Amino acid sequence: MKEYRCFIGGEWVTARSGELFDSVDPFTAKVWARIPKCDANDVDRAVEAARRAFDSGDWPALNATQRGHLLRRLGDLIARDVDLLAATEVQDNGKLIAEMRGQVAYIPQWFYYFAGMADKVEGAVPPIDKPDMFTYTRHEPLGVVAAITPWNSPLLLLVWKMAPALAAGCTMVIKPSEFTSASTLELMRLVEEAGFPKGVVNVVTGFGQDVGEAISTHPGIDKIAFTGGELSGRRIAQQSASNFKRLTLELGGKSAQLVFPDANIENAVKGVVSGIFAATGQTCIAGSRLLVHEAIHDQFVEKFLELARSARMGDPMDMTTQVGPVTTQPQYQRVLSMIEMAKAEGATVALGGKPADRPECGDGWFVEPTVLSDVNNRMRIAQEEVFGPVLSVIKFSDDEEAYALANDTPYGLAAGVWTADMARAFTAARRLRAGMIWTNTYRAVSYMMPFGGVKNSGMGRESGQDAIYDFLETKSVWLAF
Ligand code: NAD
């Protein structure tokens, strides 16, 4: 059994309480690692270390180009250790090794991209309207940034915060999900090896209600970059108002896939299947509502069910597995109870709808890929995030109705549009209220493209050129002659 320590002030330390908690492998349902159970005292230690590193020592002495070199070195080390990092994530959250190798191998690009940006942050010299004055602006690092991350893509979602924060010159206190702390701690070995000064990056492990709350109320933290559920996001926003922390919130979704009658059906079927069943539906961008035109509804659903039925479930470490377990036991129970709720509301189970009783699923928390028909958009199943392999199918009869249905949720993270008509594609991109619109594709991400949502899906964007400015303050400087 592996026993981890947390990483504070450049040292590998136990929690002050000395306590540990279990990390469970969702495929075997067995404990595979023990993680330090930190509390508010450990958060204090980490914030002190991050504040010290921000204010004095080697980190502020580095210029932006040198910071970029460190980020590049960290990217190279991650590229070297892809197999270890990917396998750690699979063990912790049950995602497929086939997907995780590719995802972790892509992570260095965020470090390379923001490394290149570190020394291209330039202030402005406005042609000021006062003849006896000279003015300019400077962009300065915000200070100590906390990253609070969920269990579904622990490293990727951390790196979206870490790369721009460090490029900007901030220091960090990181709190991974209590369900998946291991890969973040493995990453700290690489932070150490890359040569980041002590205290620049700190990790405190533990639970949301103690470590998370201690972070959101801590006066020594200047910004929280959060990815997780809507309720936690709301709580963090309220608590962090105590010292007006800057906030980026990447929350949940109830994203729609709109399939128009002119769509290439084969491609759309594949895109909608992977949009909901990849990562066992445990992605914030899961395309969990299929809106399909009535003229092609029956044909589309038939092909969809055929493909979904053939999905291979089983050991996530097997390269041929297509659907893995649900990551946590509470989430497993929640997914099943939401299916029951949908049935009680009048939805019909067209596929799955129950725990997967297959020998290849062992003791893992598997739910059969589930398709619900006879859903209307007012049902809770069409409005609330399931975060599991559950698709609701809804018919529409014209484009206006499709946009109205797609927009009729409290969320606005993503939408998929399947059409061969480019005019319709552009119209849909304009009409859909969501942070990301994928057309004839789904789930693509890039370090160059902003990621984030509108409405209850959160605020702020990660990735892309502007992301670094979320970790900078603008200072206006005035000089009179
Ligand atoms: P969660 O909100 O339960 O936990 C996320 C993190 O917040 C964990 O580290 C947790 O310990 C911490 N936390 C919980 N309560 C807290 C509190 N009161 N104060 C401070 N921290 C607290 O979410 P989860 O179950 O780990 O992740 C699933 C959710 O994340 C889903 O809703 C999903 O849609 C969302 N998500 C969003 C994105 C995005 O980019 N928009 C990406 C992935 C996941």
Pick the atom of ligand 1 nearest to 215's CA: 20
DSSP 238-293: HHHGGGT-EEEEE-----EEEE-TTS-HHHHHHHHHHHHHGGGG-STT---EEEEE
Nearest to 456 by CA among 403, 384, 394: 384
Residues lining ligand 1, Cβ inside 6 A: 148-152, 157, 175, 177-178, 207-209, 212-213, 216, 227-229, 232, 235-236, 250-253, 284, 385, 387, 413, 453, 458
Ligand 1 pocket test: which of 95, 148, 411, 461 has the largest number of ligand atoms within 8 Å of its C-beta?
A: 148
Which ligand 1 atom sits nearest the alpha carbon of residue 286? 34
Whether 250 sits among the annotated catalytic residues: the reply is yes
Beginning with the edge strand found earlier in the chain, give each strand of the sheet holding 171-175 in spatial order.
Answer: 11-13, 6-8, 201-203, 171-175, 144-148, 223-227, 246-250, 458-459
Check if the beta carbon of residue 182 is closer than 8 Å to that of residue 33: yes
The phi and psi torsions of 116 (rounded to 5 degrees) equal -65, -25
Atom of ligand 1 nearest to the CA of 160: 40
Residue 293, CA distances (Å) to 112, 226, 288, 392, 404 in order: 43, 36, 16, 14, 13
pLDDT value, residue 329:
93
pLDDT value at residue 127: 96
Q: Which atom of ligand 1 is nearest to the CA of 453?
A: 41
Low-confidence residues of the chain: pLDDT under 70: none
Q: Which of 230, 250, 384, 385 is catalytic?
A: 250
Measure Cα distances from 4 to 12, 154, 205 in Å. Answer: 9, 16, 10
Q: So what's the pLDDT on residue 301? A: 97
Ligand 1: residue of 159, 232, 247, 248 to mutate (most ligand atoms within 8 A of CB) is: 232
Q: What is the pLDDT of residue 71?
A: 98
Two structure tokens written together for 190 = 């690489």
Please give the helix or strand (H or E) that residue 87 lies within, else none. Answer: helix 82-93
Secondary structure element (H or E) that encloses residue 168, with its range: helix 154-168
Q: What is the pLDDT of residue 90?
A: 96
- State the pLDDT at residue 243: 94
ipTM of the complex: 0.94
